[in-house]
Amino acid sequence: MKRALIVFGAWTAVAFLFAIQMHYQVVSQGNERTWGWIIAWQLAGWWSWALFTAPVCAFAAWAVRIRRPAALIAAHLPMALAIGVACAGSEGFVKWALGLYRTPHTFATGITDSVAMYWTFNLLVYAMVAGLYHAWRAARLEMQLVQARLDALVGQLQPHFLFNTLHTISAFVLEDPKQANRMITRLSELLRQSFNRERGPLVTLEEELELLDHYVAIQEARFGDRLRVTFRVDPRAAAAVVPTLLLQPLVENAIRYGVVPNGGVAEVEIAATREGDRLHLQVRDNGPGVNGDKRVDGNGAEAGSGLGIANTRARLQELYGAGHRFDLTNAPAPTRGALATIEIPYSDNARDHR
């Protein structure tokens, strides 16, 4: 509704600009028209465009899947002709119906005259509308990707994770210096990979799992016997291209809600398999599970699904659209706990995705 009002308002403004121009044009030619007639004349044209803006944008939205610029223009051309003619026709009809023509016109000539007069001009208007749509979408996409990357990095380097890890290291320094050293090495490796600016929005599953391995080793040192993490990775999936830091927030949540302090051992399983052209990723824990989209905490209360999960969802939607699946559900009986499942198209070539 808000969007419709903006479109309508913008075209009304255009109509008034053209009305001013038309007024001086009429005067310079020694003719006389009232402002009312001029404004009605312009509105008949530009409000027609207000009606046709939605179909132009809808078509442009469909056409974004066409990657080659030449093919994109070729696809728009017949649409531009069709809409240009239709818009000029509806403008002619309105002018005839309101009696704005100064010479006698029938229903048919009212329309045909308008089409003959405006179809070329309307091609330009169409190009402007479609061009604006594509520019707006590209800008929005860029912004979302930048935001997702920032969120992911910030999530990775949550200060409390860093400080808790340093605290654990400080505990090991005296009692087990070798373990302290191992943790410092792991943490450094994790930081090095997170700080790496060349790590793009997409990495191979192997790289993602390597980072995850450091993260998990640190968490295992923190929680000791109370946490057991296993990796089950299909070797045919290792080269798959995945969004960077895709699994880390899922594993972080699995550990956070899986380590229930009633004496049990938290078990987290990370699995990756490939079936034909699909990549399946799973993170499973044995914690209290989920309720709808929300995690359940140790008291059975809903605990929210976390920023990391929302970010993961948004990035998958942006990169794969309808081609992905992301579910956070309870593991099927008799096991318990939460099960995060991601399914994306298998690809081992980063260029397939922008």
Partner 1 sequence: MRAIIVDDEAPARRRLRGVLQQINTVTRIDECASGRDAVELLKRGAPDLVFLDIQMPDLDGFAVAAAASEERPPAIVFVTAYDEHAVRAFEIQAFDYLLKPFDDERVIATVKRAEDFLEWIRREQSGDAGAPVMRGFGDVTVDFATHRVRRAGKLAELRPKEYALLVALLRRGGRVASRLELLREVWGYAEDVMSRTVDTHVAMLRRKLEHDPAHPRHIVTVRTFGYRIER
Q: Does 321 bind partner 1 (CB under 8 A)?
A: no
Alpha helices in the chain (DSSP H): 2-28, 35-63, 69-97, 107-156, 159-175, 177-195, 205-223, 248-258, 306-320
Contact pattern for partner 1 over residues 47 through 66, marking x by CB under 8 A: --------------------
Asked whether the beta carbons of 95 and 41 are under 8 A apart, the reply is yes
Identified binder of partner 1 from the candidate list 18, 41, 46, 257, rule CB under 8 A: 257
Number of amino acids touching partner 1 (CB under 8 A): 29
The residue from 70, 174, 322, 333 that contacts partner 1 (CB under 8 A) is 174
Residues of this chain, 107-146, that bind partner 1 according to CB under 8 A:
none
Tokens in use for 332? 């099927």
| Using rule CB under 8 A, residue 167 touches partner 1 | yes
| 348 contributes a contact to partner 1 by CB under 8 A | no
Residue 178 interacting with partner 1 (CB under 8 A): no
Contact 244, 237 (CB under 8 A): no
224 in contact with partner 1 (CB under 8 A): yes
Binding mask 290-309 for partner 1 (x = CB under 8 A): -------xxx----------
Residues contacting 226, CB < 8 A, separation 6+? 259, 261, 264, 265, 266
Contact between 223 and partner 1 (CB under 8 A)? yes
Amino acid at 310: A
In this chain, which stretch among 16-24, 44-52, 220-228, 323-331 interacts with partner 1, using CB under 8 A? 220-228
**Residue 170 found at the interface with partner 1 (CB under 8 A):** yes
Smallest gap from Cβ 168 to partner 1, in A, equals 5
Q: Is 175 in the site for partner 1 (CB under 8 A)?
A: yes
CB under 8 A, 24+ apart: contacts of 333-339: 335/284, 335/286, 336/286, 336/288, 336/289, 337/258, 337/284, 337/285, 337/286, 337/287, 337/288, 337/289, 338/253, 338/254, 338/257, 338/284, 338/285, 338/287, 338/289, 338/290, 338/295, 339/282, 339/283, 339/284
Q: Which residues contact 54 (CB under 8 A, 6 or more apart)?
A: 7
Judged on CB neighbours under 10 Å (0-12, 13-18, 19+), 78 is exposed
Tell me which stretch binds partner 1 (CB under 8 A): 31-39, 42-50, 97-105, 161-169.
161-169
Binding segment for partner 1 among 57-65, 70-78, 165-173, 322-330 (CB under 8 A)? Answer: 165-173
Quick one: which of 128, 166, 265, 307 contacts partner 1 (CB under 8 A)?
166
Q: How many CB atoms lie within 10 A of CB 334?
A: 5
Q: Does 214 bind partner 1 (CB under 8 A)?
A: no
Considering only 260, 271, 310, 314, the residue that binds partner 1 (CB under 8 A) is 260
Residues that bind partner 1 in the complex, under the rule CB under 8 A: 159-164, 166-172, 174-175, 221-224, 226, 256-257, 259-262, 297-299
